[in-house]
Structure 1
Amino acid sequence: MTEPTSTPRERIVAGAADMISRRGLNATSIRDMAKHARAPLGSTYHYFPDGKQQLATEAVRYTGEWTARSLRKELRAGPVAGLRAFLGLWRGIVVDSDFRAGCPVLAVSIEEPATEETPAALAAAAEVFETWETLLADSLREHGAEPGRAAQLATLIVAAVEGTVAMCRAKRSTQPLDHTAEQLQALILATIEE
């Protein structure tokens, strides 16, 4: 998820996202994140004075925007192309990490408790999921889907892909992605052709 021209702060955020995607939020300390990003711990606290919660929030937002950029680009060719890109992106992460990495947004979502005062990282995860759903729903509507159906299918796509990534890690196989891709593509085609 890192980009070659990134700043030291961006490298720390990308490294944190990678660590969270591999080990989860609770099993990852800010020291681990700094070490993984090959950054001095002092620099990490310089950029993220509020510590782990601030860094985790930035890592979620970083992953969200990185994914949204890819989705925006591919959705120009339609919702099926967007779906393929979305699945392809996560396939690359799962396979390239030898089934050790998943989605840091999902990791934060399942590990942060929902309390009266929602932690910033959990709120950021909700925003990221909403962004992905909106991008997909907009594309579906632009290609003929009824608005309510487009919103529901977009939610299903994001939920299915997130769950599928977890299944791939557990099974150490991309078969769940293949099955999910086939069924979601059929649903998209049926929805935009109605």
Structure 2
Amino acid sequence: MSKEVAVPEQRDRMVAGAADMLRRRGYNATSVRELAKHTGAPLGSTYHYFPGGKAQLAAEAVRLADGLIARTLTRELAAGPIAGLRAFVATWRGIVLDSDFQAGCPVLAVAVEEHPDLDAEPRHAAAAAFARWTDLLAAALREHGATIEDAARTAALVVAAIEGSVAVCRAQRAIDPLDRIADALEAAVRAVLPAAPA
């Protein structure tokens, strides 16, 4: 019984470790060997669980990050678009500060790197993550009265601006860019929602 439980736990630990390495170092600087060392897993078991190698592992790490953000958004958007936006910002604010500006978004890390060996699977996972976050935000905006076009445009703005500001925060080793973007995005979200009755 304990052996059956250990298998998924070890595999999950490797995926989480890959997500952590991607958000800190990017795709090109993350190797399967270093990942095995980082998670304390034997190198052979890494290839056992991920026969597709680095590309498969990176794609699964991106899907893990996607799922975590999507669950946070889904939960917080139930209270409205502003609550969802604030939760999205708070998540990235926490990641940047808790890592002392060493970590960003593993989805962005995979999406922006050019490398001849970068398999389509990680890129597709990154594209799907950004699309899902945008769709969740857009749906909440529509449900609260935004037009279809305003909802789509504003949701895309939120995801792109926050992802970009996280990168700026890391480069400047300051959280101010994210905080300023958060204020501007909140104003943008409010602008596309119907005014509350007086």
- Asked if Structure 1 and Structure 2 have the same fold, meaning a TM-score greater than 0.5 normalized by the shorter chain, the answer is yes
How far apart are the structure 1 equivalents of 2:43 and 2:89? Answer: 35
Give the structure 2 partner of residue 50 of structure 1.
Answer: 52
Quick check: 1:112–1:122 contact (8 Å CA) kept in 2? no
After TM superposition, list the pairs within 5 Å mapping 1:4-153 onto structure 2.
Answer: 7-112=9-114, 119-153=120-154
Aligned-pair distance for 1:35?
A: 1.5
Greater radius of gyration (CA): 2
Calculate the TM-score normalised by the size of structure 2.
0.91
Q: Counterpart of 1:99 in 2: which secondary structure?
A: coil
Give the structure 2 partner of residue 164 of structure 1.
Answer: 165
Q: Counterpart of 2:193 in 1: which secondary structure?
A: helix
Give the structure 2 partner of residue 3 of structure 1.
Answer: none
Aligned-pair distance for 1:93?
A: 0.6
Aligned-pair distance for 1:40?
A: 1.5
How far apart are the structure 2 equivalents of 1:69 and 1:114? Answer: 33
The number of aligned residues is 188
Q: Counterpart of 1:7 in 2: which secondary structure?
A: helix
Aligned-pair distance for 1:193?
A: 2.2
Aligned-pair distance for 1:34?
A: 1.5
How far apart are the structure 2 equivalents of 1:151 and 1:9? Answer: 36
Which amino acid is the alignment partner of residue 54 of structure 2?
A: K
> What is the Cα-based RMSD across aligned positions, in Å?
1.7
Give the structure 2 partner of residue 186 of structure 1.
Answer: 187
Query: Over residues 42-101 of structure 1, what are the superposed CA-to-partner deviations in whole Å (9 max), with x where a residue is unaligned?
Result: 111111011000000000111001110011000001011001100100111100110000
How far apart are the structure 2 equivalents of 1:16 and 1:32? Answer: 10
Q: Counterpart of 1:77 in 2: which secondary structure?
A: coil
What residue ranges of structure 1 are gaps of 5+ in the alignment? 1-5
Quick check: 1:16–1:34 contact (8 Å CA) kept in 2? no
Aligned-pair distance for 1:41?
A: 1.2
Calculate the TM-score normalised by the size of structure 1.
0.93
Which amino acid is the alignment partner of residue 51 of structure 1?
A: G
- 1:114–1:88 distance in 2 versus 1, CA, 3 Å: farther
Aligned-pair distance for 1:131?
A: 0.3
Which amino acid is the alignment partner of residue 22 of structure 1?
A: R
What residue ranges of structure 2 are gaps of 5+ in the alignment? 1-7
- 1:114–1:181 distance in 2 versus 1, CA, 3 Å: farther
Q: Counterpart of 1:167 in 2: which secondary structure?
A: helix
How far apart are the structure 1 equivalents of 2:114 and 2:139? Answer: 29
Quick check: 2:14–2:35 contact (8 Å CA) kept in 1? yes
Q: Runs of at least 4 residues of structure 1 off by over 2 A?
A: 112-115
